[in-house]
Amino acid sequence: MSTPPPRRQPAGAAVLREDVTEAIRAAVFEELAAVGFARMSIEGIARRAGVGKTAVYRRWKSKLSLVLDLLTAFAAQGLPAPATGSLYGDVRALLEVAAHALRHPVASQVIPDLLVEAARHPEIADTIKAALLDGQQGVAALVVRDAVARGELPPGADPDRALDLIVGPLYWRLVVVRTPLPEGYLDDLAASAVAALRA
């Protein structure tokens, strides 16, 4: 008795190829950096990704849903909490990670543009808060909790204030003023943040 041939997938049940999805995601970041959210188009994304527009629309219904999906995926990755054993070490490690991210050529263009768009699109504002703020607040809370447990900070130290003191000056320098960091800047900023938190 002969073995029946394998059944074919029914028409219309095409599996979305992961390599195409990743190419589209990469193209979105490049397109955002090049033209910004307002001028970004599905056509431009598809051209950069080397795919047809239908490949993009099979995955996302609009450029807004595409960007929101990317931000949500970014938030899900999370920011690793440092565990160096000292408040200064943890703050310095956080600054290193943040500086690396903010100096990335794509991120340095995309983040300011999306913050502007957040004023027009509440969905973007909510997703940016989840992607950028909530995760960093969680990490700052862990850093403060560990420092309190070691006796380096007093009980009741405010994690939100810690985050402002640690990342605020760095964001101002790299994203708003856009000047390069001088030698030893992160070391000095970490020491200043720790001194302010202890004051």
pLDDT tens digits, residue range 32-80? Answer: 888 888 889 999 999 999 999 999 999 998 888 888 887 777 666 666 7
- CA 113 to CA 124: how far, in whole Å? 11
Over residues 97-155, the pLDDT tens digits come to 888 878 876 667 777 788 788 888 888 888 777 766 777 888 899 999 999 999 999 99
- Amino acid at the residue 116: V
Q: What residues contact 22, with CB distance under 8 A and at least 6 apart?
A: none
pTM of the model: 0.71
Query: Residue 2: its pLDDT value, please?
Result: 53
Decide: 117 and 38 in contact? Cβ < 8 Å: yes
